[in-house]
Every structure is written in structure tokens, then in C-alpha cells.
Amino acid sequence: PPGRTAQCPLAKMLEKIGLPAKPSLRGNTWVVDASHGQGCTSQFTFINRKHHCRRRGGLFCNSCTQPKMFLRGQGDSPVRICEHCENLEEAARFERHGHKTRAGRVTILIPSKSGDGSAYPEELRQQALDEKKYKILKGEGRPAEALRAFKREKELERLAV
């Protein structure tokens, strides 16, 4: 009916995963400057340059912003995002299309303590370390141990809250 607007499925899904429907509202937590990356905590230098995650605004090194994706409101080219945001985008894509990610890997979502969908710098760092530990154990052919370590970290995190 005229005058009545229905919320589109994409807007509902974006809200569900903690993103605003309007891309212009993203990046309101843009990190202006930092001496170390929020993912692997490596120090920025002339060679190890700073890069912003175009989805959340965090500052990361080159290796932590390798993923590039097309994001609404970010132009016609893929933009740098951090690994955590890549996982969120892949999960959203999985929910929309109902199939595994392009690499066939399992996506692990780690909720934010801030409640508004954004993550604190220390959360981003811990998430990156947890994911790295999980990938190392899994890569060494120890998937059960990797899963136990991941579950143990999540249980400790839950008890700390």
C-alpha cells in the first residue's frame, strides 16, 4: 500500500548480524591512529603499514586485512576488511544463500561484549589470537584439540562476563 514501507529481507538480515541497514552508518567507530595492529598486535612501521577495515573501522596490518569484499556503499571495487569481518560477511552470505562459504570452511562467530555489534580493540585482538590458535591446531591435524581449545576459551569468556 502507498505510504507504507516494509523492511526488506536484506535490512532484517543486516540488523540480525549487528550491521546498520544504511552503509553510511558503518565506520562510526573509525580508529584514527594506533601504533600497533588490532589483530596480531604487530607494530606499524614504514614497511608494516596501517590499513583500516572498511566494515568496522579498526586498524590492522597488511596480513590481517588480506580479505577483500564488495561492501554496500563502498564503491564498485572490493575493499579491505579484517578476518573477523570476513567471517561475519561469510556467515551473512551463508544465511542468505544457504550453502557453505566459497572455501568450504566453517565460520566461527564470536559475539561482541559491546552489544551494538562493534568490537573493542582488545576483543578484536583476542578474537584474532583465538582464530590463529584454532587454525594452527587444525592445520597440524589436531581438529578435536582445536575445537576443545576454542570451546575452553569461550567458556572462560562466558564465566568472566
Q: What is the pLDDT of residues 95-154, one digit of tens each?
A: 777 654 444 444 444 444 444 444 556 666 667 777 777 777 777 777 777 677 666 666
The second-level CATH assignment, the architecture, of 9-160 is: 2-Layer Sandwich (3.30)
Residue tagged 601504533 (cell numbers)? 35
- What per-residue confidence (pLDDT) applies to 114? 45
Question: Buried (b) or exposed (e) across 23-53, using 16+ Cβ within 10 A?
Answer: eeebbeeebeeeebbbbeeeebeeeeebbbb
What residue spans of 4-142 are helical by DSSP H? 9-16, 83-97, 121-139
- The band of 28, judged by pLDDT with boundaries at 50, 70 and 90, is low
Q: What is the rounded average pLDDT for all residues in the chain? A: 70
Model-level pTM?
0.46
Q: How far apart are CA 54 and CA 78, in angstroms?
A: 10
- Say which range, 17-21, 52-56, 140-144, 147-151, has the weakest mean pLDDT: 17-21
Could you count the other beta carbons within 10 Å of the beta carbon of residue 128?
Answer: 20
